[in-house]
Amino acid sequence: MVLITYTPGPAARAELYEPWLREEDNPTFNRVPGVGEYSNWKLADPAALDCSHFDFLDLGGPEDLERVWFSSELDRFRARWVERWGYRGARPDPVSGYATLFVRDGPPMRAEARYAVLDFEPAAVPPGREWTAIAALRKHWALGRAPQGEPWRWPIAQMNPLRCASLEVRFHDAPAPPGPGRRVVAECIASPFIRKESA
């Protein structure tokens, strides 16, 4: 699962941006081969992660990462996203310029309800629920292609934009209160499995 964190530019006002995510962005990603499920979320407190939005990008399998990340269809779409919505600041900071790749021994990521709670560095997690951060992925559509000799995928020990080693995700039908540690709460904007009128 790839956690794509970002803050769009000032053009992305909720009344314009959120319908666009539901009608264009979400369906485009979910029809690309190799994508298991893609969903869009907004944070209740942007300061908690130093970004305002994130996407869950679940892959069909490890072999799908590179072909989805460098999909020519998605690259054309991403270029239009940057042109229309942009990023906060002249150049994206690491949280918006990189995404984080997580793995776990358990079921794939599925958006199960309208609200999500993300616990970074959780103290105790039931088996099969903890995601381990393994790599930071350079967003070539945000930062440009990696210079020659530099990787597009960095081991998490060398590049860690979210400053975390593990993550637990839980879903709720109602907003959850903030909690101890590094806990963030988010609301779903778009998902193929959550009804549009409730997202």
For residue range 10-61, what is the model confidence (pLDDT) as tens digits?
999 999 999 999 999 999 999 999 999 999 999 999 988 999 999 999 999 9
Q: Say whether pTM exceeds 0.95.
A: no
> For residue 161, what is the DSSP state?
T
Give strand pairing partners of 37: 58
When divided into structural domains, the chain yields a total of 1
- Is 121 strand, coil or helix? coil
Domain with 153, as residue range(s), is 2-198
* pLDDT at residue 4 is higher than 80: yes
Rounded Cα gap, residues 94 and 74, in angstroms: 21
> For residues 79 and 141, what is the distance between their CA atoms, to the nearest angstrom?
6
Residues 6+ apart with CB under 8 A from 145: 152
Torsion of CA 155, 156, 159, 163, to 10 degrees: 180
